[in-house]
C-alpha cells in the first residue's frame, strides 16, 4: 500500500496571495463550492469576514471563464446587518433552506473543518454598484439554489 493511495480523489489546491485571488465580477455564474471559511482581518480593527472559493462551471463574464477559480468575500463594516444578510443569503442558497433557518450554528458548521458545502452548486448574479461613501465600485452578488441540487 502506497502513502499516495487515493490521490486521484483529492483536488489540488494552492495558497493564493491577495494579489492572485480572482474575485467574482459582473455576470451570471454557475459555481461549485470549493471552500467556505471565516475569520478576522489581520489589518485595522480585526473585522470579521466570510469567504467562499468556487470553481466556475458556467459564466457570462469573458474575463472569468469556465474552469477558473473565483472567490467571494463579505466583511463586517459599519453596518453589521449587511454582513449578516450577505452570509445568511449565501448559506440559504447553498443549503436550499429559508433564510430564517440560517443560525450562527449553521454558519459555524459550514465553515468548519468538515466543509459540508464543498461540491454544492449555486447560481450567482453579480453587478457593480458605486459606494455611497467613497464612490468606488463594489460588486454585489446574489445567490440562488441551483434547481437540480
Per-residue pLDDT tens over the stretch 81-134: 889 999 999 999 999 999 999 999 999 999 999 999 999 999 999 998 887 777
- Quick check: is 40 in a domain? yes
Residue 9 lies in a domain: no
Residue 139 lies in a domain: yes
Residue 19 has pLDDT above 70, yes or no: no
Whole-model pTM over 0.75: yes
Domains held by the chain: number:
1
Residue 8 belongs to a domain: no
How many Å apart are CA 66 and CA 89, to the nearest integer?
24
Does residue 135 form part of some domain? yes
Please indicate, yes or no, if residue 13 is contained in any of the structural domains. no
Containing domain of residue 92, as a range?
Answer: 22-145
Give domain status of residue 81, yes or no: yes
Q: Does residue 28 fall inside a structural domain?
A: yes
Residues 114, 35: contact at Cβ < 8 Å? no
Amino acid at each position: 500500500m502506497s502513502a499516495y493511495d487515493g490521490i486521484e480523489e483529492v483536488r489540488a489546491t494552492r495558497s493564493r496571495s491577495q494579489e492572485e485571488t480572482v474575485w467574482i465580477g459582473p455576470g451570471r455564474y454557475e459555481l461549485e463550492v470549493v471552500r467556505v471559511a471565516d475569520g478576522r482581518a489581520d489589518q485595522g480593527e480585526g473585522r470579521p469576514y466570510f469567504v467562499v472559493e468556487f470553481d466556475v462551471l458556467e459564466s457570462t463574464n469573458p474575463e472569468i471563464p469556465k474552469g477558473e477559480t473565483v472567490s467571494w468575500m463579505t466583511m463586517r463594516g459599519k453596518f453589521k446587518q449587511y454582513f449578516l444578510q450577505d452570509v445568511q443569503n449565501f448559506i440559504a442558497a447553498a443549503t436550499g433552506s429559508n433564510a430564517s433557518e440560517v443560525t450562527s450554528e449553521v454558519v459555524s458548521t459550514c465553515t468548519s473543518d468538515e466543509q459540508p458545502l464543498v461540491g454544492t452548486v449555486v447560481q450567482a448574479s453579480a453587478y457593480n454598484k458605486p459606494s455611497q461613501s467613497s464612490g468606488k465600485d463594489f460588486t454585489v452578488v446574489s445567490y440562488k439554489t441551483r434547481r437540480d441540487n
